[in-house]
Amino acid sequence: MLAVAIGSFVTLTAVGLIALIRLCTNLAFHGTVSFAEARPDFTTWGAWGIAVPVVGGLIIGVMARWGSPAIRGHGIPEAMQAIGTADSRIPGRAAILKPLSAAISIGTGGPFGAEGPIIATGGAIGSLVGQWLPSSPVQRKILLAAGAAAGMTAIFGTPLAAVLLAIELLLFEYRGRSFLPVALAAGTAMALRSCFHEPLPMFPLEFSAVPDLPVSFGALVIGGFCGLLSVGITKAVYAVEDAFEKLPLHWMWWPALGGIAVGLIGWYDPRTLGVGYDNLRTLLDGHLAVAAIAMLGVAKFCSWVIALGSGTSGGTLAPVMTVGGAFGALAAHAVHGVPGFEGFPIGLGVLIGMAATFAGASRAFLASVAFAYEATHATASFGPLLLGCGAAVLVSRVLMRETIMTEKLARRGVRIPSDYEPDFLHALAVQAVMETGPLTARPDDTVAELAARLGTIGSPWHDVRLIPVTDEAGTLLAVLSRADLFDALEASPSITALEAGVLKPVTIHPEQPVSEAVDRMIRHSIGRLPVVDRSAAPKLIGLITRRAILDARKHQLDSEVH
């Protein structure tokens, strides 16, 4: 229910952000108060329009310094950091200032998409709900991810990709309690999005050709080169950030400096200004000349890298996909010169370039494939997309340790998992690792007798740490630890094992997972658990120890070694 409510509110916020971007664009570039869709260009102010991104950068710098520094950057790393270091707590100011700063940045010509800021804003809204209501850090993380997924869905109309992106970049787990609320939030956003007549699909592509061997091989090759491109993009972003760090100016002024580059490049090629979703649609049409494609790709890359590196507010998904799509289009044109590949579709090359470049840069493999399909409805592209994105991620993993999302966090000492896998202890039963036939004591054995057994070098009792106390039928009556035994011995050597032991010990059943045994050991600060059956008078079956669990883990690690 909370996820549905969050999804509804975030969708309205996303629609409001789009309207605010249009308002800022009209005000900044055309001097009119209007919420109509408009392109940022120089038709109204002429060359003076070059100063518009500079003014926008100044405003962002002031907002970041005296409002919230969290508005700087592209949003997703900040959400990841909140999950990793702040128990998924995001300040309320970020939920207000992030979309406002993004609208100003994009509306004044910033070469960003609206998706990053709204993902960050949606995450902040989910986090705030989790802070206002009694919730655990895990529940707040789920609500944060639900808000982020709803934000991405509201912008692009890609609910499955949004859920997968949340799993791959925010949740790092695949459990029902996690992905079901996220899915409900994304589904709600998709339903409400239709009320505002947003385009669906966002980037239509006509592709119904059979993905034969030439098409598939071409997709694999393009994907591999997109992996190299994603590595270069990531390193370029952080190289520019490092260059700004060395400037003898307060970081508040950096976005204005970045705005100078945005304005000059925009004067050279106005297509680089603003969100640029039309650029993706034009690339997918496949009718642009090679020179126009190359100009768009290079200019957009330079403008975006400098602007993002300056610390302004904006997203990464749309710019990375624009650069990747231009590269994919150029690669598809190049493939046409190879015998046998003359019919390779330009639109498919663009789509693979878009998805594979983002997959390589972010390592969100499944989300990238799902996004490319949902955003275009090109069903026949699934196979080539899997090949292209898989090749890109492979190249990226070989050449780059961190991603465009995690590099900044790694520099701050925050470690984000790059993979997620089920805990093997969940699938391992206690009976598979327990010690059978443990040494036991009778109820009337004295602690003096037991101490003598423990003190006999070479005796099987010498290393015993926990002594189960059972009757003749094998029913577990109590447990006696080594420490409790010697404490009782000091008090009175004639005390019996039953009198000195714990009468209601923590136990576990043989069919339960080892992970549950670990949880009980942690909660009760003990290192060994008796294993009993489920009869009314539970009979002792075995004993599970920390050593047995570590040995099982070692065996699992050994199984992964060639």
Radius of gyration of the chain (CA): 30
Give the domain-ending residue among 196, 221, 239: 196
CB 185 within 8 A of CB 3: yes
Which pLDDT belongs to residue 418? 66
Q: Is residue 16 part of a domain?
A: yes
Which pLDDT belongs to residue 327? 96
Q: Do 139 and 275 lie in a common domain?
A: no
Mean pLDDT of 361-385: 92
What DSSP line would sit under 241-263, residue for residue?
HHHHHTSSS-GGGHHHHHHHHHH
- Of 112, 155, 59, the closest CA to residue 308 belongs to 112
Q: With 0-12 CB in 10 A as exposed, 13-18 as middle and 19+ as buried, what is 217?
A: middle
Which pLDDT belongs to residue 290? 93
Q: What is the CATH number of the domain that holds 466?
A: 3.10.580.10
Q: Do 392 and 464 lie in a common domain?
A: no
Question: What is the rounded CA–CA span in Å between residue 26 and residue 15?
Answer: 17
Q: What is the CATH number of the domain that holds 361?
A: 1.10.3080.10
Q: Do 339 and 441 lie in a common domain?
A: no
Q: Do 122 and 229 lie in a common domain?
A: no
Q: Do 30 and 175 lie in a common domain?
A: yes
What DSSP line would sit under 173-223, residue for residue?
---HHHHHHHHHHHHHHHHHHGGGT--SSSS---------HHHHHHHHHHH
pTM of the model: 0.83
Q: Do 428 and 474 lie in a common domain?
A: yes
Q: Is residue 416 part of a domain?
A: no
Q: What angle do CA 289, 293, 298 make, to 5 degrees?
A: 150
Q: What is the pLDDT of residues 142-172, one digit of tens each?
A: 999 999 999 999 999 999 999 999 988 888 8
Q: What is the pLDDT of residues 79-113, one digit of tens each?
A: 777 776 767 787 777 778 878 888 898 999 989 88
CB 158 within 8 A of CB 370: yes
Mean pLDDT of 305-328: 89
Which pLDDT belongs to residue 74? 65
Q: Do 429 and 390 lie in a common domain?
A: no
Question: What is the rounded CA–CA span in Å between residue 152 and residue 150?
Answer: 6
Contacts of 254 (CB under 8 A, 6+ apart): 57, 61, 244, 247, 310, 311, 312
Residue type, 258: G
Residue type, 361: A
Structurally, the chain folds into a number of domains equal to: 3
Residue 283 has pLDDT above 70, yes or no: yes
Q: What is the pLDDT of residues 452-475, one digit of tens each?
A: 888 777 788 888 889 999 998 899
Contacts of 534 (CB under 8 A, 6+ apart): 509
Range of the domain at 58: 2-196
What DSSP line would sit under 446-495, residue for residue?
BHHHHHHHHTSTTSTTTT--EEEEE-TT-BEEEEEEHHHHHHHHHH-TT-
